[in-house]
Chain A
Amino acid sequence: MIRFQNVNKHYGDFHVLKDINLTIEKGEVVVIIGPSGSGKSTLLRCINRLETISDGLLEVNEVEINSKKTDINDLRKNIGMVFQHFYLYPHKTVLQNIMLAPMKVLGKSEEEAKKTALYYLEKVGIPDKANAFPSQLSGGQQQRVAIARGLAMSPGIMLFDEPTSALDPEMIGEVLDVMKALAREGMTMVVVTHEMGFAREVADRVIFIDKGQILEDANPAEFFSEPKEERAKLFLSRIFNH
């Protein structure tokens, strides 16, 4: 479903992604971990072309992401994205936040979009906040609205860029619960996170990336019990011993 083949990315002299080879199948939950600045968010953002790649091949559903011929808006319909800082539209209500893209991009009627929006709000557990503005919600609630907003497009893939990193510790659980439920339903998910518990529990694969290179690509049980690379061992020991 997603295929990186010898993908490189440079920011000027800085080589952010080095020869990335990675294939993600439909229904897989892939967690990307690594130290900050390792390129994990950049890797994720290449998938829906929020970042462009310098060379190599990157395909989603067999469509080349960086080809001039590709209608990127069409491709993005199928890829939901959740950001660290939510980025809800502050001038719109929760319901309007969720309804906008289905109406403007998919051409759904207002009635239909509203029905879908309410369905997903129910699903993320905050149907009572439909008419609130984002500023009236807690961080955890905002992030759940952001997930509902992504889901309302019925995407085949959901990307999560450190979805819990900006949350109060108390709110992390409610967001992870929504993500876990989504994973169990078979959604294809690519998740950049520092939540090792989430990785261990729901990931099909864990990708460890450092200095722009994929160092490990393993199932979570294997990765957490016996990481092969020294850098990964160091990373895990620092995370678990603080």
Chain B
Amino acid sequence: MRPNLMAAMILAGGRGTRLYGLTKKVAKPAVHFGGKYRIIDFPLSNCANSGVNTVGVLTQYESVLLNAYVAKDQFWGLNTNDGGVYVLTPREKDTTGLEVYRGTADAITQNIDFLDQIDPEYLLILSGDHIYKMDYDDMLKTHKEMEADATIAVLEVSLKEASRFGIMNCDKKGMIKEFEEKPAHPKSNLASMGIYIFNYKTLRKYLMQDDKNEESSHDFGKDIIPTYLKDKKRLATYKFKGYWKDVGTIDSLWEANMDLLKNNNQLDLADESWKIYTENLNVLPAFIGEDASIDNAYITQGAVVLGMAKNSILGTNSYIGKDAKVIDSVINPGAKIGEGARVTRCIVADGVEIGPGVKVGSANSEHIELIDKKVME
């Protein structure tokens, strides 16, 4: 083991039920964002940028594409001599047979042999569902300064929203005194982001105990953190400031995409000092036709625009036909909008075709419409 090594485990097993349509065939972390990225590019790029080179990705639901994708660790520069991205799926074991991951903590426990082999001093637990940029090395600094057993990244939310999150009640120094999962009457506005740093040796002990506990749901938020608190372990918080979005629904995924169109948007994907890396596709630059009309758009290479794009995100190899109008919409990679078609307030899923002259979505809709199948009339 290299001294002070921090390894990361990304929980990427979620189904993304509320994104159904986009997640029929791919797990939520593989869902596209911002025209060229996939959601899991964010934690993976954050790891690369933070110097965390050893990353396990725990997958389960519809993971063929996701497994194949993250295994190409060179996309994020994680193919270093001492690092790599390791795909960890549930497997048949000598003593237990094939078991799916029963909870977030169980996913780690079931791969404890992998972690023992790496033998890290610190373990970083991440989720594969969020859009944000974070320096995990800075978080580790806090963890060390506070001499904590575990550190949880927290975000200030409004008190109104707080009842949707796990809420931390802290002392003045930021040490956690109490943890409440989705409280009806929150006492604080510090929400857990589901990002944890643990001292690996201590965590290992707790995971082994939890594994035997039949009442446990084997979840970090519901079981492991409360047990740490009960045992008076030192739990610190790391306050995150910046853009963070849980893109759990079609509406929130659309909103996060639309945020990219805002002036000085906080996510700032153009920041050269903290790039988000993704698959390198051999595609041409964007081709903008002679009669195209573009007003406020975020367009990536491979896109072909012959018609109109307004307040929209156009993905890799997307195609906007002549006289087509795309307004307030997200056109995912490979989607094709036929000649004269109209797309308003929609997410058009990967590779989906909208036929010539077809109208989808509406300017007054309450929710964003997801188009996940070919529409020809």
- A and B held together in a complex: no
